[in-house]
Structures are given as C-alpha cells and as structure tokens.
Structure 1
C-alpha cells in the first residue's frame, strides 16, 4: 500500500501510542482532528483531509466514541523507523 511521507509520520506516532482526537459540530460531522503523541505533543501535520484519508483507507478506527487509534492494517502499512529518543 502506498502511504505518503506525512501519512507515515502520523501512523508512526499512532503506532507508538498516540491518538487522534476529533471535534464534531452540532450536526455530528467531524470538523477538526488533532493528532497527539503518547507524550502529549500535538502534531501540526495532521489536517482534516489527512484524517479523512486515513479513515477512508481503514488505517485508523475509533471504538465507542473514543479517540482514533491505529488499526492492524495501519500497523502493516507503516514502515519501521528508528526512534532516536
């Protein structure tokens, strides 16, 4: 599966324990999405368009209204990266 560099960055953060928090309007539509790492940092690369692309490709999912997390398909799509902490 072809995954762009920005999608790789977001999926890698999610694979390490990050989440995507979504914000809805009064009619229930998602109007904004914020990607947070496991340390609490917000990634600025995560736009609404990128969020919808990941959701449409089923690389992320939410259960019972919880923040979005990476799925098994997302884990398979992300390439391994060194984590220089």
Structure 2
C-alpha cells in the first residue's frame, strides 16, 4: 500500500501510543483535529488531508466515539523510521 511521508510520520506517532482527537461541527462532520504523541506533544504534520487519507485507507480507527488510534492494518503498513528526513 502506498503511504506518503506525512502519513508515515503520523502512523509512527500513533504506533508509539499517540492519538488523534477530533472536533465535530454543527453538521456532524469533523472540522478540527489534533494529533498528540504519547508524551503529550502536538504533531503539526497531521492535517485534515492526512487524517482523511489515513481514515480512507483504514489505517486509523475510532472506537465508541473515542480518539482515533492506529488500526491493525495501520500497524502492518507502517515502515521502519530512518534518521534521514
């Protein structure tokens, strides 16, 4: 599966225990997201476009209305992170 560099960064954060918290608008759609690392820092690379791509590819999931976390399929898609960026 093709996963972009930005998507890989978000998947790495989620694989290490991070989460994506979302806010819904009046129409019920998600209009704002924040990606938090396990340590509580905010990842600025996580945009609505990256979030939508990860959700469309079913690499992240939300259970019972909670924050989005990495899915089993996402764990299989994540590659080893190199030090070169």
TM-score bracket for the superposition, by shorter chain length: over 0.9
Q: Which runs of 5+ in 2 are unaligned?
A: none
**Using the alignment, how far apart are the partners of 2:81 and 2:41 within structure 1?**
19
CA spacing shift, 1:82–1:17, aligned 2, 3 Å: farther
Quick check: 1:37 aligned with 2:37?
A: yes
What is the aligned partner in structure 2 of residue 80 from structure 1?
80
Q: Does 1:61 align with 2:61?
A: yes
TM-score, length-normalised on structure 1?
0.92
Q: Where does 1:11-50 land on structure 2 (aligned, <5 Å)?
A: 11-50=11-50
The CA distance in 2 between the partners of 1:54 and 1:37, in whole Å, is 17
Residues 31-73 of structure 1 show CA distances to partners (whole Å, capped at 9, x for unaligned) of 0111100000000010011101100100000011100000011
Moved more, 73-82 or 44-53: 73-82
Q: Distance in 2 between matches of 1:2 and 1:70?
A: 16
Corresponding pairs, count = 83
Q: Distance between the aligned counterparts of 1:4 and 1:56, measured in 2? A: 14
